[in-house]
Amino acid sequence: MDNLLSAERVEAIIHAGLPEAEAIRVRVESVGNGQASIRIPFSPRMLRPGERVSGPTLFAAIDTAMYAVVLAHIGEKPMAVTSDINLHFLRACAPRDIIAEARILKLGKRLAVMSVSVGAVDEPPAVHATGSYSLPPD
Amino acid sequence: MDNLLSAERVEAIIHAGLPEAEAIRVRVESVGNGQASIRIPFSPRMLRPGERVSGPTLFAAIDTAMYAVVLAHIGEKPMAVTSDINLHFLRACAPRDIIAEARILKLGKRLAVMSVSVGAVDEPPAVHATGSYSLPPD
Amino acid sequence: MDNLLSAERVEAIIHAGLPEAEAIRVRVESVGNGQASIRIPFSPRMLRPGERVSGPTLFAAIDTAMYAVVLAHIGEKPMAVTSDINLHFLRACAPRDIIAEARILKLGKRLAVMSVSVGAVDEPPAVHATGSYSLPPD
Amino acid sequence: MDNLLSAERVEAIIHAGLPEAEAIRVRVESVGNGQASIRIPFSPRMLRPGERVSGPTLFAAIDTAMYAVVLAHIGEKPMAVTSDINLHFLRACAPRDIIAEARILKLGKRLAVMSVSVGAVDEPPAVHATGSYSLPPD
């Protein structure tokens, strides 16, 4: 894992590949050995009634964090695709910046497995997720 | 299950409760014994690069279909909350209207369990999902 | 899918590969286009207190049904391995023969995705499961 | 959480409630604030061909660890039931004692959510699981 991409490089690849308003705003906060952390700055568009962050926004943060950690570790190859994601909803998510921290549980030849904690900054996680990416053959 | 809400009633409740642009456009196509089907009309905002429908859009369709089928069967109570969702991604989703069909696997006192198939209209499903809602006490 | 293995052949491969008392008793009831059904004859060893079938027994039935349906469709290759399984528990399982019906949702080059319904014969399903197998490269 | 049951008490309740050979051998190694750890001593009955621990054995360890941590924190009430479990298989499990460590992610009134790491003692985890228990009303 000594060829880890930098947080700046991963962020640039995400912005180049996903040219949507939401994606452009994603910040890759850190990349480390087996982990990556992203932030989505708060926007009123994220909200559902009751002033909490919507499920689709949390899902987007989870999928982006998984993408970031895989990308950082396998580099810029024709890309892995999401195979499955399991989400457990723990509590409502306050209307603040969203932080998603992904951790690699397995990085095999054919499959990467990750867990992700996501929620409002400085709050306990709103969702715990586990998922896998199917990796391209060499 | 003889007190099933109509598709029109379920659609009106969803529109009243979720006053976002996306939600307003959701149509509840059918409600039946143990099932409900929703449609999200196509919009370019749904797309990711490669002209396929994004994961967060498919997630939103799944969650809305689960909400619709639960609402139709338990009626307008202080609402159930999503407990968990498991998604398996089967294939890319073409840029068309999205159809999500939810089926109740269990409707207990404390928990409802549903499966959902979601994808582009007239195409095989892009995602198969299973999830549960925690139900309010009477 | 015209090279489908027969139910008898799949059963023989399972018995040869898993020489445990429980596995030996597994019967492959049917194999069809995209589906397979297995039966585990009742044994008192399957039970938990309360005279219901235990979780590990239901898990074994689910995994065996997924294995059977994959085997029937891809044939006797150096084998696929279970990647993930998601189980939703729907109701207690009566002390009778166990039937597990697996259905292929996707059969790709790298990944097979299946859903499984499992429960006591002639009863509604006790568990709904979805899972995937990582497939060997050719 | 100051009324935490002790590891000895949780082990005694498990043995009383699940009088199977396998369950009797389960040891509750520790109980702490939001966590519990169990051990299943090695037995050749746990093995599959290839000398690795079987899926049903790992599933049993996961479910037992989730039960132990819930029991320790909510005490001896008419019991919670497993609602869902998601398993990601990370690597083969060596033929040794099995350790399963459960951690509470949420302890609500109606639902408890836990993550579990399980594998051979002194080895990296073979399976990462997340699941929930539906809790009895007071």
DSSP for chain B, please give it.
-TTPPPHHHHHHHHHHH--SHHHHH-EEEEEETTEEEEEE---GGGEETTTEE-HHHHHHHHHHHHHHHHHHHH-SSSPPEEEEEEEEE-S---SS-EEEEEEEEEE-SSEEEEEEEEEETTS--SEEEEEEEEPPP-
3-state secondary structure of D62: helix
Q: Which residues contact C24 (CB under 8 A, 6 or more apart)?
A: C15, C18
Q: Tell me what the mean pLDDT of segment A81-87 comes to.
A: 95
**For A39-50, what is each residue's pLDDT tens digit?**
999 998 888 878
C-alpha to C-alpha distance for B26 and B32, rounded to whole angstroms: 18
Residue D19's closest chain C neighbor by CA? C49
Per CB-CB distance under 8 Å, the chain C contacts of A134 are 110-111, 134
C-alpha to C-alpha distance for A129 and A62, rounded to whole angstroms: 7
C-alpha to C-alpha distance for B26 and B48, rounded to whole angstroms: 20
In this predicted structure, the answer to whether residue B38 has a pLDDT above a threshold of 60 is yes
The pLDDT of residue A45 is 84
With an 8 Å Cβ cutoff, is A63 touching chain B? yes
CB D10 within 8 A of CB D23: no
Q: Is the ipTM of this complex over 0.95?
A: no
In this predicted structure, the answer to whether residue C39 has a pLDDT above a threshold of 80 is yes
Helix (H) or strand (E) holding C30: strand C27-32
**For B61-103, what is each residue's pLDDT tens digit?**
999 999 999 999 998 776 678 999 999 999 999 999 999 999 9
Phi, psi for residue B25 in degrees, rounded to 5: -85, -10
With an 8 Å Cβ cutoff, is C56 touching chain D? yes
CB B93 within 8 A of CB B73: no
| Beta-carbon separation of D111 and B137 below 8 A | no
Residue with tokens 């004859």: C41
Entry pTM = 0.94
- Which percentage of chain B shows pLDDT scores above 90? 72
3-state secondary structure of C109: coil
Scan residues 77-106 of D and list those with Cβ closer than 8 Å to B: 83-84, 86
Residue D80's closest chain B neighbor by CA? B110
Residue with tokens 């490269």: C137
Q: Tell me what the mean pLDDT of segment C73-90 comes to.
A: 88
Tell whether the torsion through CA atoms of D91, D53, C129 and C48 is positive or negative.
Answer: negative
Helix (H) or strand (E) holding C61: helix C55-74
In this predicted structure, the answer to whether residue C18 has a pLDDT above a threshold of 80 is no
Residue with tokens 């899918």: C1
The pLDDT of residue D79 is 65
Q: Which residues contact A76 (CB under 8 A, 6 or more apart)?
A: A5, A13
The beta-carbon neighbor of B110 closest among D84, D86, D110 is D110
Burial class (CB within 10 angstroms; exposed 0-12, middle 13-18, buried 19+) of D18: middle
Per CB-CB distance under 8 Å, the chain D contacts of C60 are 54-56
Least confident of B13-17, B107-111, D17-21, D96-100: D17-21
The pLDDT of residue B2 is 57
Phi, psi for residue A133 in degrees, rounded to 5: -115, 135
C-alpha to C-alpha distance for B52 and C103, rounded to whole angstroms: 26
Residue A132's closest chain B neighbor by CA? B88
> Cα dist. C70→A15, A64, B43, D41 in Å?
39, 31, 37, 33
Per CB-CB distance under 8 Å, the chain C contacts of D55 are 59-60, 63, 82
C-alpha to C-alpha distance for A60 and C53, rounded to whole angstroms: 39
Residue A126's closest chain B neighbor by CA? B83
The pLDDT of residue C118 is 98
C-alpha to C-alpha distance for B68 and B60, rounded to whole angstroms: 12
| Beta-carbon separation of D48 and C81 below 8 A | no
With an 8 Å Cβ cutoff, is C44 touching chain D? no
- Percent of residues in chain A assigned helix, strand, coil, to nearest 5: 30, 40, 35
- Report the b/e string of C9-30 with b at 16+ CB within 10 A: bbbebbbeebebebbeebebbe
**For D46-68, what is each residue's pLDDT tens digit?**
888 788 999 999 999 999 999 99
Separation in Å, CA of C6 to nearest CA in chain D? 23
The pLDDT of residue C70 is 94
Scan residues 1-30 of B and list those with Cβ closer than 8 Å to A: 17-20
Q: Tell me what the mean pLDDT of segment B106-135 comes to.
A: 96
Beta bridge pairs of residue D37: D30, D101
In this predicted structure, the answer to whether residue C2 has a pLDDT above a threshold of 80 is no
The pLDDT of residue B63 is 93
CB C28 within 8 A of CB C8: yes
The beta-carbon neighbor of C90 closest among B90, B105, B128 is B105
In this predicted structure, the answer to whether residue B21 has a pLDDT above a threshold of 60 is no
Task: Tell me the CB-side half-sphere exposure of residue C9, using CA atoms within 13 A.
Answer: 13
Q: How confident is the model at residue D22 (pLDDT cuts 50, 70, 90)?
A: low
The beta-carbon neighbor of B111 closest among D86, D113, D134 is D134
With an 8 Å Cβ cutoff, is B128 touching chain A? no
* C/D interface, count of CB pairs below 8 Å: 53
End-to-end CA gap in chain C: 17
